[in-house]
């Protein structure tokens, strides 16, 4: 049974409202903050509220519950949103600064930041064991930093607020340069690393641990090293933090790629592979309601109560399908090899070998849920934020940038590939391992890593940001759109949607600052092109 840490109880105690600007958010409840953070129970409840931002299903499920993983284009050139084209679908590049999905995510992230600020200001007054206080302090630092990381990745320069809102007055805040935001993210995360327990001690993926902090720090530094900031000195930091996870010897690849994702549906933890994940649970008949839409908004199309209903809003691109080599078992798990036919049955009918244009995402399969009865809409499937395979690939990339394709970097990639081909990860394998020409120099090896990240990590909200930091996002999206527009045999439902990806231009590297925020905060400025 999953351990549920992200309780919504705190959202009863602290409801966020916007009377001036979302950065002005104040807690509104029957206990003011100075009287609330007084004991261990209250601190844990407040901390649960900070976590719960990731799983929130209010305001159109703005984060990992639905929108961020489906309609907002985080899959990059690995997939596309099947409906539309529509200006409210962020991933189709028809949107503007007033689109609700962008505004709701902005608001949600700043709500989490404000809750973290509140707790950090009050935690020293709580009557609780000192050791537990320091762990909670570390988690709050990390979660504040993580929410800022999502903000800076999607909007660039953003307001940096490190104190809680106590008044609706004088809260107009200018955007801080992205470098300053990254510096604060690193400061908070490094503080957290010294305070939170190890992954083994925590024992499950739903709570922050040292490996999660180190692995996300590696990701932060890779983003900082790449476009648009292009601070190449940060590759060394990324390498060092990824190596901390590897050297901890707490983690290893699950022998089965498929099992990693079955575990997310079947209420099982594997802290060795899945280092940090978003918690979902139940079927929305329980309280607090913790179910999300993983497996529904991103899953295999079904209207069957037995299988579990799925709208299957995200489909894989032909580019991703063709990227897998012969014998790579990941392809037919990441990309559904079958349809339920009829759609209200559990009968699986395989696609024709030529049907590569509009297959559903297969990673998150409702058939493996164990919480019954299954909801029509909501699911208990957890969502991965950091897996050990990602750590290995981040290490390989950073090591390559620092020292070229070393034996250690090549081995890290080969381990991921061997698991993908169903082979033992520690033994050389001719079918899975890279050939010498693929790591002949730094550029060749980087291309290998870029493709491997797509094969391994598709539909985990990473591809768009990888493309941005590599400086290839606009080109890659235009290429996918052109392929679907110009190729023969593309089904009409895909041909009507995917060519809209060619509408992308440089302004889409960052989302616009929400119109509502601009109207309330006169110190905010809009991103270029919006």
List pLDDT tens digits, range 34-63: 558 999 999 999 999 999 999 999 888 899
10 pLDDT more than 50 = no
Q: What would the pLDDT profile of 427-455 be if each residue is shown by its tens digit?
A: 999 999 999 999 999 999 999 999 999 99
Instruction: Tell me the DSSP string of 304-371.
Output: -TTT--B---EEE-HHHHHHSPTT-TTHHHHB-SEEESSTTSS-EEEPPTT--SSPBB-SS-GGG--S
- Angle between helix 463-470 and helix 442-457 axes, rounded to 10 deg: 160
| Within-domain flag for 166 | yes
pLDDT at 166: 73
**Looking at beta carbons, which pairs linking 421-424 to residues 24 or more positions away fall under 8 Å?**
421/327, 421/328, 421/329, 422/256, 422/329, 424/255
Number of domains in the chain: 2
> What one-character-per-residue DSSP string does 216-239 give?
HHHHHHHHHHSTTT--TTHHHHHH
Quick one: three-class SS letters along 183-206? HHHHHHHHHHHCCCCCHHHHCCCC
Which DSSP letter does residue 156 get? S
Q: Looking at residue 141, which CATH number applies to its domain? A: 1.25.40.390
**Residue range of the domain that includes 332:** 293-364
pLDDT at 3: 44
Distance CA(312)–CA(411), nearest Å, equals 36
Strands (E), 38-132: 79-81
* Tokens representing residue 351 in the block: 């696609």
Does some domain include residue 153? yes
Where does a domain end: 342, 364, 386? 364
pLDDT digits (tens, 9 = 90+) for 103-112: 999 999 999 9
Whether 311 is covered by a domain: the verdict is: yes
pLDDT band at residue 529 using 50, 70 and 90 as cut-offs: very high
Mind listing the pLDDT tens digit for each residue in 294-324?
999 999 999 999 999 999 999 999 999 999 9
- 483 domain residue, yes or no: yes
**422 domain-assigned:** no
Q: Do 31 and 167 have their domain in common? A: yes
456 within domain boundaries: no
Report how far residue 187's alpha carbon sits from residue 470's, in angstroms, rounded to the nearest whole number. Answer: 25
- Report, as an integer, the average pLDDT of 398-402: 98
Q: Angle of helix 100-122 relative to helix 130-155, nearest 10 degrees?
A: 150
**pLDDT for 2 beyond 90:** no
Phi/psi for 468 (5° steps) reads -65, -50
Q: What is the pLDDT of residues 126-184, one digit of tens each?
A: 999 999 999 999 999 999 999 999 999 999 999 999 999 876 666 789 999 999 999 99
Assess whether the previous peptide bond of 9 is cis (omega < 30° from 0). Answer: no
Q: CA–CA separation, 20 vs 520, rounded Å?
A: 6
State the pLDDT at residue 361: 98
Query: Whole-angstrom Cα distance, residue 495 to residue 499?
Result: 7
Shared domain for 30 and 151, answered yes or no, is yes
Residue 446 lies in a domain: no
> Over the chain, what is the mean pLDDT?
92
Enter the DSSP assignment of 450.
H
Asked if the structure places residue 390 within a domain, the reply is no
pLDDT given at position 143: 98
**Which pLDDT value is given to residue 6?**
37
Please identify, among 343, 364, 385, the residue that sits at the C-terminal boundary of a domain: 364
pLDDT score at 194? 98
């Amino acid at each position: 049974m999953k351990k549920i840490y992200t309780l919504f109880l705190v959202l009863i105690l602290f409801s966020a409202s916007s009377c001036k600007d979302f950065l002005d958010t104040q807690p509104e409840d029957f206990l003011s903050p100075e009287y609330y953070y007084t004991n261990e129970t209250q601190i844990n409840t407040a901390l649960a509220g900070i976590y719960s931002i990731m799983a929130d299903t209010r305001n159109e499920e703005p984060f990992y519950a639905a929108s961020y993983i489906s309609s907002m284009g985080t899959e990059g050139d690995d997939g596309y949103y099947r409906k539309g084209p529509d200006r409210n679908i962020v991933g189709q590049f028809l949107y503007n600064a007033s689109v609700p999905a962008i505004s709701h995510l902005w608001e949600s992230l700043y709500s989490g930041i404000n809750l973290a600020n509140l707790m950090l200001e009050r935690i020293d007054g709580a009557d609780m064991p000192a050791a537990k206080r320091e762990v909670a302090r570390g988690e709050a630092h990390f979660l504040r930093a993580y929410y800022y990381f999502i903000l800076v990745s999607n909007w660039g320069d953003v307001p940096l607020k490190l104190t809680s809102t106590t008044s609706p007055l004088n809260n107009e805040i200018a955007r801080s340069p992205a470098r300053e935001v990254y510096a604060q993210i690193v400061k908070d995360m490094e503080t957290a690393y010294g305070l939170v327990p190890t992954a083994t001690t925590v024992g499950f993926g739903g709570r922050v641990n040292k490996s999660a902090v180190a692995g996300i720090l590696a990701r932060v530094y890779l983003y900082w090293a790449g476009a648009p900031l292009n601070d190449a000195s940060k590759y060394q930091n990324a390498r060092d933090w990824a190596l901390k996870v590897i050297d901890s010897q707490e983690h290893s690849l699950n022998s089965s790629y498929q099992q990693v994702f079955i575990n997310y549906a079947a209420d099982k933890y594997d802290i060795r592979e899945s280092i940090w994940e978003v918690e979902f649970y139940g079927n929305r008949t329980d309280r607090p309601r913790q179910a999300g839409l993983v497996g529904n908004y991103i899953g295999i199309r079904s209207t069957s109560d037995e299988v579990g209903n799925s709208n299957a809003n995200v489909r894989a691109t032909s580019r991703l399908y063709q990227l897998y080599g012969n014998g790579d078992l990941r392809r037919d798990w990441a990309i559904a090899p079958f349809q339920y036919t009829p759609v209200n049955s559990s009968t699986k009918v395989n696609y024709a070998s030529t049907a590569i244009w509009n297959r559903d995402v297969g990673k998150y399969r409702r058939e493996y849920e164990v919480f019954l009865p299954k909801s029509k809409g909501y699911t208990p499937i957890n969502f991965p934020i950091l897996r050990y395979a990602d750590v290995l690939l981040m290490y390989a990339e950073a090591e390559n940038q620092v020292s070229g394709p070393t034996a250690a970097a090549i081995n890290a990639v080969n381990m991921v590939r061997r698991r993908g081909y169903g082979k033992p990860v520690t033994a050389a394998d001719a079918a899975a391992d890279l050939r010498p020409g693929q790591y002949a120099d730094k550029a060749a090896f980087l291309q290998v890593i870029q493709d491997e990240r797509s094969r391994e990590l598709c539909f985990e909200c990473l591809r768009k940001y990888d493309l941005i930091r590599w400086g290839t996002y606009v080109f890659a999206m235009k290429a996918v759109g052109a392929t679907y527009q110009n190729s023969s045999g593309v089904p009409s439902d895909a041909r009507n949607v995917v060519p809209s990806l060619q509408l992308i231009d440089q302004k889409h590297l960052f989302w616009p600052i929400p119109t509502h925020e601009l109207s309330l905060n006169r110190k905010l400025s809009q991103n270029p092109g919006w």
